[in-house]
Structure 1
């Protein structure tokens, strides 16, 4: 009997030990899945110092069959809450199916490998954009902020009414800013321009269900353009902001917004190019070019996309693209947003990137109209030389939206238009910025080189796009794993094992309690919203008014380095943003578009192969001398074809 008790005790101890070990290590994956031909890396992260001696395995979920096995490889050491971390590269697994990773008793969640893993993701994120609409809101099937707004700082008397209803709420609050709205509009237009086959047509222009023979992403982009036109109604009138942080006085559904002392009207701030702020705090504005450039680039790209669909509307966009650019030339400098009663505002400190993008898009639009407009392109290149690398790249910190947009879009557009040494200069600027991040990223298993400042997920998304654009411009794949690591991070390959996009993918760990009145008051899902993302522990500790409302389910994964909370009370890490989501829509469209390009290329390659076989068969019927001659010619043709395919 004593032996039996000892045996039972041993069994209990073994299972207790196994449970403890299981809770000390995790395998993080991209819960959205992986493409068969793509890079596939997961992260083994543990809190135990015991070396990982067993290989990792890729297991077919349905059968339990091990389809791939390899060594765990290099220990990258401590990161955040973990004492050791390893990269598990299983790119060799290309067969579509459902799988999980395993090493010892540690097992990852299931994931999918397939060509269609990213299909529909960009359209899914458009749900959040529609839900953020001001004016008529198709999610609520109701209108809000229809009384906007009364002017401040303008050439007209303060409190003059002007119609600026429309656009998108900036985040889960109801402020509206031109810088973020224009940037979001540009990304949506660019997504349609670059990947038109990705998007569906399941909604009307007003956002309600239906079809209108126009891609939903274009409906959404036009919603943004309509509001931007209201914010730049005359050649010399330009507004920068609607509402201020009095918005944060309490929770309400948008149509109940009356926080400004004038009924349902909200203040709209004229872009003066000088410091503004109605209360204690002021911004450090020095000009209007940062806002003017964003206006101009969005309008100019809108003209390019819409001139064949709606000529009269496109002409308005072309006129405003030119007038906004002129205001940027007249008042160079930054047009920061105006604070209210708190010290937080968008502290943008650069503008030449905005004017670079405006100039090159004006060049592109002018070419459609038959003008060479070389001066625009020359100006764009000159602006590009002033700020070669976006300043946050490679740094550990920056102020809130200090360098915005978080990617220099103009470099990509200029590089597509210029040739020879100028093209190489611009491409090198992209590479220099990526290399700055890589020097930091290569030292940790997550390949994390993006700083954990406010809206770190927005920076991550933008940086992934920069890596993608660099790869497309050059064919250079040296940063492909870094690019993929940023994408994987957004969808679960991070210390917390969570996707940072509400509801995407279905069934995975995604935000459930974001900082949003929609979810907090009404339990409305905010599908497709990208939350701000993790911040440094030191930033979190010093923010005003943060208090978690529920026990922290990720407590075991927080660290002095970085924190993330899926909790309504944490506005710094868990608040969705409209502009970050718009950038993600471009990235997701690129991922789906890239898959489609590979799939469409496969039949073409097979056709080339059949032609080669036929040519060889025909050559056998000729004389030895003719065979030799034809083989030389055929070899040259095949070599040329292979080079073309590699370039593609």
Structure 2
């Protein structure tokens, strides 16, 4: 698929100005646009060592300069660029359509307006609906209806259980409780915090029909229903369905028959003990307990109870009960439950669990008002004050998951005095670790380029915004916005990282997905994994680019990104990363709504 030809046809009218760019210099922008009252910045990057002294903002209709400012500090080399500058036009707030010019380069056209994020969160829900397992509303067909048979449990291996439903994890069809529970939590929290953002255009099955329920809640409930099946008894908890035997080849989801029991797939029990990690590698994973999974179940169930209590009391009460039993399992069996693999050494190698139990304790306090949960939550918080990847350069795949400590936010929202200040201090210290790296480059990039770097980017931006919400301080507003901008084109490649968003932008068109590769189905709203260090890319098994690299000029020894289905490391979408982005986009859309309202009105 020749991306540049397609993009030329799609958005030639918007990018006429961009044709004036020279091969030596480029201006990277947030293609979605900028909020009038928000931070507004772009990055000028050059393949030469030339410097610039100023830049101009040009009205696209009149061609006249409406804002001129100094280019500021020269940041020097970054990635493919020999010289770079950060072009800050935050003080300009007039809505309209513009482009930037500096040092022989012209940016694509973009908008400034309160509605630039309008509908973006709902758009990304399309990807989650397409990822549904069981009944799939995009295909209007069912899949994986025979799941599944148990492994590693207290029951005899191959015991049949009902594990129907949920979401496929990424472009493969594995299903993980940890990523699913985290997805559910972000969807529920997005609705709780920004209800006005979401619309009702689909029913509970994901089909296009209103049902008096916001689509984001329909999607969250689809995930909750599956989590309930994965916690069928008080002392039973399951961690995943299927394993890497799934990776035998791209296919549309159907009846997988390569697990040795007809069309059933294995369902791995949370045993709290090591499980297989690549048979030929003679390895076992490093599982030590079940709290990492149990805590995620408990917090998702508890938040589900809070959000759905009035809408569906009977269902909500079931969630409340399950929140308690999952929390008890986590207390009884502290430690991590890592995932299993059979053919390869790649797993979700989660190494932390106290953050999950902290979040669960915070949510249990919310629904019970029992203060002992707050006390337990603070103890868990002190076990992991800063999410370990913050400020680091490397980490194993999903080693510190979820990618920020949500528990700190939920605890601080209910705590007071010294406890609240302590939790805010943890958040600030983590942000500072990233800022110390980010402030040295024009992109304000301090997130490491490990696998799923885009997921980390969205999560870190949320931590910055949560710190601002709780503290009332906007010290990191520019850093937070830089991470949002990165996801939508203000990066060395000049591409957004979400399929189809914005509609007329430079976005992925050839992701690592069977839907697009085999059937040319759009995977609207899917956030791809994102750039990785060149050293990671060069060490991975089975990567082969299928077509010439349209971003070849922007690759570097530091970091690479390919819009090519053959690169599963940078261009595969994930459901949990997309869910985190949905929360972030809802936050940004809500920010635009708040600032557009008359001064005597307010919105949550």
Contact 1:249 1:259 in 2 (8 A): no
Corresponding residue of 2:366? 364
Equivalent-residue separation in structure 1 for 2:21 and 2:494 (angstroms):
18
Of 381-390 and 225-234, deviating more is 381-390
Equivalent-residue separation in structure 2 for 1:417 and 1:391 (angstroms):
24
Corresponding residue of 1:610? none
Contact 1:532 1:577 in 2 (8 A): yes
Corresponding residue of 2:106? 107
Corresponding residue of 2:13? none
Runs of 4+ in 1 over 4 A off after TM superposition: none
1:243-322 matches, within 5 Å, as 243-277=242-276, 279-280=279-280, 281-322=283-324
| RCO comparison, higher one (Cα < 8 Å, 6+) | 2
> 3-state DSSP class of the match of 2:599?
helix
Corresponding residue of 2:9? none
TM-score (norm 1): 0.89
Corresponding residue of 1:49? 49
> 3-state DSSP class of the match of 2:272?
coil
> 3-state DSSP class of the match of 2:213?
coil
Deviations 1:460-519 (A, max 9, x none): 000000000000011111111000000000000000000000000011000000000000
Aligned-residue offset at 1:73: 1.5
Paired residues, what number?
582
> 3-state DSSP class of the match of 2:254?
helix
Equivalent-residue separation in structure 1 for 2:536 and 2:496 (angstroms):
22
Equivalent-residue separation in structure 2 for 1:336 and 1:227 (angstroms):
19
Corresponding residue of 2:540? 543
Equivalent-residue separation in structure 2 for 1:258 and 1:602 (angstroms):
61
> 3-state DSSP class of the match of 1:425?
helix
1:463-482 matches, within 5 Å, as 463-482=460-479
1:162 aligns to 2:161 (yes or no): yes
Deviations 1:262-317 (A, max 9, x none): 22210000100000017344211000000000000000000001111111111111
Aligned-residue offset at 1:93: 1.7
1:76-91 matches, within 5 Å, as 76-91=75-90
Contact 2:42 2:86 in 1 (8 A): yes
Aligned-residue offset at 1:256: 4.0
1:326 aligns to 2:323 (yes or no): no
Equivalent-residue separation in structure 2 for 1:20 and 1:328 (angstroms):
59
Aligned-residue offset at 1:603: 3.8
1:460 aligns to 2:457 (yes or no): yes
Contact 2:28 2:494 in 1 (8 A): yes
TM-score (norm 2): 0.95
Structure 2: state its 5+ residue gaps: 1-18
Contact 2:20 2:106 in 1 (8 A): no
Equivalent-residue separation in structure 2 for 1:255 and 1:435 (angstroms):
47
Corresponding residue of 1:146? 145
What root-mean-square deviation, in Å, do the aligned CA atoms of Structure 1 and Structure 2 show?
1.3
Alpha carbons of 1:454 and 1:97: their partners in 2 closer, same or farther (altered >3 Å)? same
Corresponding residue of 2:508? 511
Among residues 564, 571, 576, which one is paired with 1:574 in the alignment? Answer: 571
Contact 2:324 2:364 in 1 (8 A): yes
> 3-state DSSP class of the match of 1:22?
coil
> 3-state DSSP class of the match of 2:590?
helix
Corresponding residue of 1:438? 435
Aligned-residue offset at 1:20: 11
Aligned-residue offset at 1:601: 5.2
Equivalent-residue separation in structure 2 for 1:533 and 1:61 (angstroms):
31
Corresponding residue of 1:638? none
1:588 aligns to 2:585 (yes or no): yes
Corresponding residue of 1:186? 185
Corresponding residue of 1:209? 208
Equivalent-residue separation in structure 1 for 2:117 and 2:188 (angstroms):
20
Alpha carbons of 1:303 and 1:21: their partners in 2 closer, same or farther (altered >3 Å)? closer
Among residues 413, 417, 422, which one is paired with 2:414 in the alignment? Answer: 417
1:222 aligns to 2:221 (yes or no): yes
> 3-state DSSP class of the match of 1:602?
coil
Equivalent-residue separation in structure 2 for 1:397 and 1:549 (angstroms):
28
Q: Considering only CA atoms, is the larger Rg found in Structure 1 or Structure 2? A: 1
Equivalent-residue separation in structure 1 for 2:462 and 2:104 (angstroms):
37
> 3-state DSSP class of the match of 1:192?
helix
Alpha carbons of 1:207 and 1:540: their partners in 2 closer, same or farther (altered >3 Å)? same
